[in-house]
Amino acid sequence: REWLISRRRYKNIPGPFLSRYTSIPLAFHSRGGKRHLYVHSLHQKYGPLVLIAPRHISCSHPDAINVVYAQGEHALPKSDFYKAFVVDGTPNLFNTQDRTEHTKRRKALAHPLSYKSVKEMEEWIAGNMLKLIKNLDRKCESKTGPTSQLTSRTTTTTRTNGVPLGAETPGRASGSEEKEVEGDCPVNMHAWFNCFTFDVISDLAFGQSLGMLDRGTDVLPDSSSSSSRGNPYGQENRTGVAAMIGLRGRAAAFLGLFPPLVGFGKTGMCIRWMLLHFWPDPLIRKGLSSSDMLSDIATKCVRKRMASTNDDNETIRDDLLHRLLTELRKSEKPDQFIDDIKEPEPLNERVVVTEAMLLLTAGSDTTADSAAAILWYILAQPAVHQRLIEELDENVGVLAHDLAAADELPKHDQVKSLPYLTATIQEALRMFATNAFGLPRVVSDFSKPVTLMGTSIPPGTELSVPAYTIQRDRDVWGEDAYEFKPERWLSEDEASEVLKGKDEVKKADPKYLLTFGAGPRMCIGKNLATMQLHLLIATILLRYKLELYDPHKDLEAVEGFMNKPVEVLVKIARR
Ligand code: HEM
């Protein structure tokens, strides 16, 4: 009956025949890690409105952004797809579908993640940057000589478990084999960026970094015993945290297409247990198990942090967790100022843990993946690389040879407004959106009437606008929409100075950039992310000579919920 209703309702919306009846075609491409490319190909074939699953319309018309991700009373809630991200039945800011709950949670995180607040934490970011630099300096020194020929004989790692690894990679997970190869010594910058962003977010969120840069790995020392839930995969191997987040995203992106599989309550828990133990696809089982392990890691960190806060001798560290706790307490007691609360009420631990886990999962690999993609685009275009170096040399100056302290590193104030650096980062984020497929919203029974391109959309319909397709739309970006051209983000004067008589480019309009999402559910961590991206790219380019290890190879990526570069291998030497 559902099928018949759906068929009648959406008879005017084109799309593949099977997708009218089942989500399996979409799930198949999601499982294959290429959902955004599949949806993109459907739009090329069928036009801007496509039925990609029985009740799901993808709309690639730029005007759809303001409808699907509308603000205020026209805002559409997140669809049941997001239930797949709920851990232990407690929704967080990212996956809650309830508007009131979302407003309350968003308010609690908005202040801690405001630009002012994040700026105050710059010294902690710099501390981790220094550690990253020390590690990369060591990689350079281990080459054949101080002036480095960028070549040496080394080992490289073959991937056997889908986890991104490369030679000289931190975070080597089990299941990978090593083999000796002749040739240059590649460094996997993506893996190092992961260590950096995980350490930063754990430092800011839990008061203590996870120590990945110190250990040169994203495998936690006690990860083999981290799952206390008796699940069969928790102790299988020493999986890196980045890989756990990737696996979790892949499982959720698949299961979210079948909402009955991701319910809450006793039935939901029962179904989850069965999936974890008996689902035939190991990727899904590992994804579910990874979710449990991440929750355990967040619980441990929060408990440790709370215990140290309760210790009278410990001075309170004014980090993200402290600010989040303060805001959450305020929202529990909205009429009182926090200072008036003599004895703070204990907060529900699960609420704090789910938000802390959200910071860890939403605020780490997204930034590392973006930084890796940005670096790849820069290195793939030597002219862009050269121009950036000129801009940085001119405005920041040469870094001390033996960096001894974090305050010798570039400051955010020095790099945040550099036009060409900012334009390059924006352009790379256009070419590579970590959330590349359309983020689904639903027209609920309570939604205001929704019309897309003259078509009235019935309640119960899921809608999404695919970032990958919008960010390559020729009407929006110009005929060269598929090309990487930072100039499109510069002001007219700056662009003509850079182009020097070469063909004009159509000026970019940031409202069509969906990399950080749009509307009321837009990324709340954008300030922190962009600060890290500016600092990371500026520091790395200032300090090192970099080349892509294989300039003929495209940037390879695999998509779960996020589109993640597999690796970015470079040759590296000190400038
Ligand atoms: C370059 C890095 C990042 C990218 C590309 C990115 C992208 C996104 C996108 C596309 C969304 C919307 C998701 C949706 O509608 O389903 C989102 C939401 C969110 N992001 Fe980020 N993000 C990044 C960094 C961060 C950081 C550093 C944090 C936190 C420290 C963070 C925390 C969040 C949270 C909490 C949400 C949910 C917001 C809500 O539903 O109200 N993100 N992010």
For the chain, give every domain's residue range. 2-82+437-470, 215-358
Residues with CB under 6 A from ligand 1: 93-94, 106, 201, 358-359, 362-363, 366-367, 370, 434-435, 439, 515-517, 521, 523-525, 528-529
Chain segment 99-129, per-residue pLDDT in tens: 998 998 898 888 889 999 999 989 999 999 9
Between the CA of 375 and the centroid of ligand 1 the distance, in Å, is 20
pLDDT in tens, 44-85: 999 999 999 999 999 999 999 999 999 999 999 999 999 999
Query: Is residue 523 part of an annotated ligand binding site?
Result: yes
Cα 243 to Cα 259: distance, rounded to the nearest angstrom: 24
pLDDT computed for residue 360 by the predictor:
87
Distance CA 252, CA 352 (A): 22
Atom of ligand 1 nearest to the CA of 522: 12
Interval between CA 5 and ligand 1 midpoint (Å): 35
Pocket test for ligand 1, best of 327, 366, 535 (most atoms within 8 A of CB): 366
Q: How far is the CA of 528 from the centre of ligand 1 (A)?
A: 10
- pTM, two decimals, is 0.90
Which of 239-248, 431-440, 451-460 bottoms out in mean pLDDT, i.e. has the lowest? 239-248
- Which residue, 271, 276, 270, 304, is CA-closest to 290? 276
Q: Is pLDDT above 50 for 152?
A: no
Q: Which atom of ligand 1 is nearest to the CA of 106?
A: 41
Report the nearest-CA residue for atom 16 of ligand 1: 439
Interval 224-233: pLDDT, tens: 444 555 444 4
Among 164-173, 184-193, 429-438, top mean pLDDT goes to 429-438
- Please compute the mean of the pLDDT values over residues 459-476 and round it to a whole number: 97
Instruction: Name the 3-class secondary structure at 565.
Output: strand
Determine the atom of ligand 1 nearest the C-alpha atom of 204: 30
Distances (CA, A) of 263 to 24, 76, 276, 370, 518: 19, 21, 14, 32, 27
Model confidence at 341: pLDDT above 50: no
Q: Give Cα 92 to chain centroid, integer Å.
A: 17
What is the interface pTM, i.e. ipTM, of the complex? 0.99
Beta strand extents in 104-176 (DSSP E only): 154-158
Which residue CA neighbors atom 20 of ligand 1 most closely? 523
- How many residues does the structure list for the chain? 575
Tokens of 200: 């930063």
**What integer pLDDT is reported at residue 492 of this predicted model?**
80
Pocket probe for ligand 1: among 114, 124, 245, 523, the residue whose CB has the most ligand atoms within 8 Å is 523
Report pLDDT digits (tens) over 306-317. Answer: 777 665 555 667
Atom of ligand 1 lying closest to residue 520 CA: 41
